[in-house]
Amino acid sequence: MRLSQLAMTSLEIPFRQAFTHASATRTMTETVLVRAESAGGLIGMGEGCPRRYVTGETVAGAREFFSNHQADWLRFTTVEELRAWGQANAALIDRNPAAWCAVETACLDLLGKETDRPIEAVLGGNRLSAPFRYSTVLGAEKLSTFQKQLHQYLTGGFTDFKVKVTGDLRTDRERVAAFMTVGPRPSGCVWMPTIAGSVETRP
């Protein structure tokens, strides 16, 4: 891989309705995209989601991190060099995990395209062979909206959910009760608290 360009942009897509949970209410995406282009014209893309209330980052901070180290990253040619930079700068990455995720993913995507291999193979792992299962998120909106979204997701075939909580016990119990009534049955499910104010359920 010989990089000719490495660029970061922010992506702000307005939501049709605000998304709420205990830590924040958001009305649009907060995302950074990194575009890695090789001398041969191939393009790799990476995404990171800086969240002040999750990773301690902001979009502005992610862009500053990128600007400060872009020259170093433009010299990457192999996955070993990418891995070595990450290991040598672990403490710095711990302060900018979403920003580094976007850079690393863009480079790995490009390396995979150059060698016609998926990222897991580029990293020395086994190719995925089983079907990939997606999960979905239910926010802390009013109960009628919660129930409508839950019905839509169940109709779409989703079985794994993350349920955002508000911190208000009565409100959260209403949502969990609604989920357990019409969602996947409680037997075999695991409820897991997460750092951003949510509960995950998995069959």
Q: Helix axis angle, 59-73 relative to 97-115, nearest 10°?
A: 40
Residue 55 lies in a domain: yes
92-138, pLDDT tens digit by residue? 999 999 999 999 999 999 999 999 999 999 998 888 888 888 888 88
Helix (H, G, I), strand (E, B) or coil at 160: coil
Residue 77 lies in a domain: yes
Does residue 167 share a domain with residue 115?
Answer: no
User: In this structure, what are the phi and psi dihedrals at residue 60, rounded to the nearest 5 degrees?
Assistant: -65, -40
Owning domain of residue 193? 136-202
DSSP 35-95: EEEETTS-EEEEEE---TTTTS--HHHHHHHHHHHHHHHTT--SHHHHHHHHHHTHHHHHH
Q: List the beta bridge partners of residue 6.
A: 36
pTM above 0.95, yes or no: no
Would you put residue 66 in left (φ > 0), alpha (ψ -120 to 50) or beta? alpha
Does residue 98 share a domain with residue 56?
Answer: yes
CATH number for 64 = 3.30.390.10
pLDDT tops 80 at residue 24: no
Does residue 187 share a domain with residue 94?
Answer: no
> What pLDDT, on the 0 to 100 scale, is given for residue 15?
65
Of 76, 94, 122, the domain-final residue: 122
Residue 127 lies in a domain: no
Residue 14 lies in a domain: yes
Residue 92 lies in a domain: yes
Strands 136-138 and 161-164: parallel
Q: How many domains does the chain have?
A: 2
Residue 15 lies in a domain: yes
48-96, pLDDT tens digit by residue? 999 887 889 999 999 999 999 999 999 999 999 999 999 999 999 999 9
Does residue 167 share a domain with residue 98?
Answer: no
Does residue 116 share a domain with residue 163?
Answer: no
145-203, pLDDT tens digit by residue? 888 888 888 888 888 888 887 778 888 888 888 877 775 544 444 445 444 454 444 44
Does residue 186 share a domain with residue 118?
Answer: no
Does residue 173 share a domain with residue 83?
Answer: no
Residue 129 lies in a domain: no
